[in-house]
Amino acid sequence: MKTVLTTIALSFFLATCNKKQDQVQTLEGVPVETEAPNAKYKPAFTGQTRIVGVKTKMPIEIKVLDNTLKRPWGIAPLPDGRLLITEKGGTLRLAEASGNVSEEITGIPEVNDSGQGGLLDITIDPDFTQNRMVYWTFSEKSPQGNLTAVAKGRLSNNERIIENAKVIYRATPAYKGVLHYGSRILFDKTGNLVFSTGERSDRETRPEAQSLNSALGKIIRITVNGEPAKGNPFTNNPNARPELYSYGHRNVQGLAFHPVTGDLWENEFGPRGGDELNRIVAGKNYGWPIITYGIEYDGNTIGEVKTQMEGMEQPVYYWDPVVSPSGMTFYSGKIIPEWENNLFIGGLSSQHVVRLVIQNNKVIGEERLLTEEGERFRDVAQGKDGALYAITDSGKLYRITKK
């Protein structure tokens, strides 16, 4: 009996030690991902996936400010420190840094919130303090099917309604499906809108991502009136839509400009494996569905099983298994100096916030934050106070800052 007890105790001790060792290994020096990949593809270069783990040294505080949001999707920080947050059903909320959340702000045109659709991302005009204009993306229903649309309107002085809402762009062709709308939106330094679309998921629509006569699976750049922006790469191509900025994308739910270089970065969902982080160059082809590091959800390969092809861009980084990347932001605050210019991405199925350390356009470190929360993180944004704010599908608003 003594021998049995000793064996049990030893087994427990070893298991505990191994668990602690695993926890340490996922923090620094080895990749944070320990699960086997779905696809047995080789990366195109060292560090393209499973880079070494890093850990934030400064103690951080994670606080839930509110848990009453209804399926939040996008965050737009305001100049006064508040946050304008979209809810998929078609309403907006204003949230204070204290956690106080406003009543519903209405006036948004009808959205189709079936599946992955609804009221999606939002951004504010660079001159918001004077004109109070906001711009948003949403899934719109039409007789031909559903599509990603861009609209604009004015936040009323009493902050209860969006005034004079107007759709300024529709990403056609429409499709009778409810998946892969994209869609993030932001202003570039020239005062034009940059936003993303998905290729609508199904095999029959996937080729649209490669078509220059389709707005599906693209990053698009337009004026505030919905016209193609000057300087777009396909302006003089009669066989292409002039609003297109880049193509060959699957489902882009993250867009951000690097605070130092000004480069546009995006993340997009892969299928089973193959989530990507890309640095966007105007006019470039990012490969989907011809090249990918993922496989079909049923385990079959995709297309001709290629991960590289001449004339198609490689992701700066990819994940397999997936993290399901959504909204993202580069950190430019001063509160946590070691986070300077790091990229933060909301993870959905992975249920954590991704932190990536990037140098010379290469990922050199990865950390998983808020892993204990068990939440699907839909968007991450930096507030005026220098803290990070994150929203979850379950309706929570988090603030992440130093202790």
Residue with tokens 């996008």: 74
Interior angle at CA 302, CA 300 and CA 304, nearest 5:
120
> What is the rounded CA–CA span in Å between residue 208 and residue 302?
16
Pick the catalytic residue: 180, 249, 258, 352?
180
**Cβ-proximal residues to 12 (8 Å cutoff; 6+ apart), any chain:** none
Are β-strands 91-95 and 119-124 bridged in parallel, bridged antiparallel, or unpaired? unpaired
**Cβ-proximal residues to 6 (8 Å cutoff; 6+ apart), any chain:** none
> Hey, what amino acid is at 95?
A
Contact (Cβ atoms closer than 8 angstroms) between residue 76 and residue 83? yes
Phi, psi of 234 (to 5 degrees): -110, 20
Give the torsion sign (CA, 18, 324, 316, 124): negative
Nearest by Cα to 276 from 333, 331, 332, 217: 217
Cα 215–chain centre separation: 19
Could you give the maximum distance between any two Cα atoms of the chain, in Å? Answer: 84
> What is the rounded CA–CA span in Å between residue 349 and residue 148?
23
Q: Give yes or no: 180 in active site.
A: yes
> What is the rounded CA–CA span in Å between residue 12 and residue 144?
61
Nearest by Cα to 35 from 47, 46, 50: 50
Catalytic amino acids? 180
